[in-house]
Each structure stands twice: as structure tokens, then as C-alpha cells.
């Protein structure tokens, strides 16, 4: 059952993760032998066979607040594993296989949009950003050839998905708790491509669309790494 706009956080280790530790692990990953995250074979983070399987997965298209959302993948199986390894364990070596298609979708959206269209990211939760010390969406976009990404501002915390009452929240309550959490700046009269990693209910992305509209901009496309399907 879909109850939050974010994947359920996993606890990778009992240690409290810190940015320097994640960075150190990421650096070590380049030197130590690694197993393929798809099949466990000793290889790179993703062996050739699993990479081909990943590339064969279909894209997803849905509507969010009346705007077309392109998702590079469905959020399941290998895609879910790779995203969680990147976000929770700092496995930056999985950024290229995921980021290639994500970046291509953003570049396509930009090519179809007016000149001067900006890419804005839905901001990560403050806790997630602090824990990781890097922004997975910015990294994925860079690996996919998109090097200029701005972000919306979070003006107050939205539903965290971790509170005791979260599971009982109705969709209406979730929307009500999310409206007004984001703000856009400098988009008056401009076209915007909104990006995020995982879109679940779409409530957060819809809030991003609202924030851009309030600031006088127009969201021409939403792009996500992965979409959670019904």
C-alpha cells in the first residue's frame, strides 16, 4: 500500500551514517573488488548482463498536476536496489547506469522546450541531505549529461512518512500537509523542467508544480528516475 511519497528508509548498518563515512566508502568502492548488485557475481557494481536487463526495462509516463511526468524506470526490483544503494550507502558507482536514461529524458525535455528553460530539483528532506552529504539527483543528472540544476526551496517540513500517524493519513490529508512546503524563485515568465528521484503518489511533485506556478513560471515537463506504479 502506498502511504508516503518516499521509499521506506532502510537501515544499512547499525552505525550512524555520516557524510565522511559515506564518502570514504564510496572511494573504497573504486579500489575493492565489488559484486554485481543485480546478481552477486564478482564484477563491477552492475555486470554487463544486469546492465543490459536494466536498459531493457520500460519507461513510465504519467500525469502530475496536469503535467506529463517521464520516469526513466518503474520503481521495482533492480532499480529500487540500485537507488537505495546510491542513496543510503553512498554507492556512487551505480549513478551512471541509472543516470544515463534519466539525464537523456531531461535533455529531451529541454530540447523540446523554449530557450532558457531551467531544470529545478524537488529538494530532498533536510535529514536525508545531511546524512548523505551529496545530492543523488544532481549526481545522477551529471552522469546523464545535465550539469546545471537548481532547486526549489523547502519553506517548511512536509509529511515525513515516519511519524506514527503517517500510515493512517488519507490522501487528502497528505495533500493538505504538503501544500505550501515548497517555494520557487527567479522563474517568473520562465519554463521549468522539474526533477526528482522517486515519484510515489505524486503529491510532492504536484507541490513543486504549484510552487513554480505561484512564482509565475510554467512547468513544461516533470522527470523522475523512477515511478511507483499501482
Residues near Zn ion (CB under 5 A): 36, 38-39, 47, 50
Which of residues 43 and 207 has its CB atom nearest to Zn ion in the complex?
A: 43
The distance of closest approach from Cβ of residue 82 to Zn ion in the complex, given in angstroms and rounded to an integer, is: 11
Exposed, middle or buried by CB within 10 Å (0-12, 13-18, 19+), for 182?
A: buried
Give the Cα separation of 177 and 105 in Å (integer): 30
Tell me, rounded to whole angstroms, the distance of Cα 66 from its chain centroid.
20
The distance of closest approach from Cβ of residue 33 to Zn ion in the complex, given in angstroms and rounded to an integer, is: 14
The distance of closest approach from Cβ of residue 38 to Zn ion in the complex, given in angstroms and rounded to an integer, is: 4
Q: Which DSSP helix (H) or strand (E) runs through 60?
A: strand 60-64
Which of residues 50 and 83 has its CB atom nearest to Zn ion in the complex?
A: 50
Give the Cα separation of 124 and 100 in Å (integer): 21
Which of residues 46 and 141 has its CB atom nearest to Zn ion in the complex?
A: 46
The distance of closest approach from Cβ of residue 117 to Zn ion in the complex, given in angstroms and rounded to an integer, is: 37
Q: Which residues is 227 bridged to in the sheet? A: 74, 199
Which of residues 24 and 39 has its CB atom nearest to Zn ion in the complex?
A: 39
The distance of closest approach from Cβ of residue 136 to Zn ion in the complex, given in angstroms and rounded to an integer, is: 21
Please say whether the beta carbons of 78 and 47 come within 8 A. Answer: no
Which of residues 84 and 224 has its CB atom nearest to Zn ion in the complex?
A: 84
Amino acid at each position: 500500500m502506498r502511504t508516503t511519497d518516499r521509499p521506506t528508509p532502510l537501515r544499512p548498518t547499525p552505525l550512524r551514517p555520516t557524510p565522511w563515512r559515506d564518502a570514504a566508502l564510496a572511494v573504497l568502492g573504486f579500489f575493492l573488488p565489488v559484486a554485481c548488485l543485480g546478481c552477486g557475481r564478482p564484477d563491477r557494481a552492475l555486470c554487463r548482463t544486469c546492465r543490459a536487463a536494466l536498459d531493457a526495462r520500460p519507461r513510465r509516463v504519467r500525469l502530475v498536476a496536469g503535467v506529463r511526468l517521464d520516469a526513466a524506470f518503474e520503481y521495482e526490483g533492480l532499480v529500487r536496489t540500485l537507488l537505495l544503494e546510491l542513496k543510503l550507502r553512498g554507492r556512487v558507482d551505480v549513478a551512471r547506469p541509472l543516470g544515463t536514461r534519466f539525464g537523456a529524458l531531461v535533455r529531451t525535455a529541454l530540447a523540446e522546450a523554449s530557450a532558457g528553460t531551467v531544470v529545478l530539483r524537488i529538494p530532498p528532506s533536510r535529514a536525508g541531505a545531511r546524512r548523505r552529504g551529496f545530492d543523488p539527483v544532481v549526481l545522477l543528472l551529471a552522469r546523464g549529461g545535465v550539469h546545471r540544476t537548481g532547486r526549489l526551496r523547502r519553506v517548511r517540513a512536509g509529511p515525513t512518512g515516519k511519524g506514527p500517524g503517517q500510515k493512517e493519513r488519507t490522501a487528502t490529508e497528505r495533500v493538505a500537509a504538503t501544500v505550501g512546503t515548497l517555494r520557487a524563485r527567479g522563474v517568473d515568465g520562465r519554463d521549468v523542467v522539474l526533477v526528482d528521484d522517486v515519484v510515489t503518489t505524486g503529491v510532492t511533485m504536484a507541490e513543486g508544480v504549484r510552487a513554480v506556478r505561484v512564482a509565475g513560471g510554467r512547468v513544461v515537463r516533470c522527470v523522475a528516475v523512477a515511478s511507483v506504479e499501482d
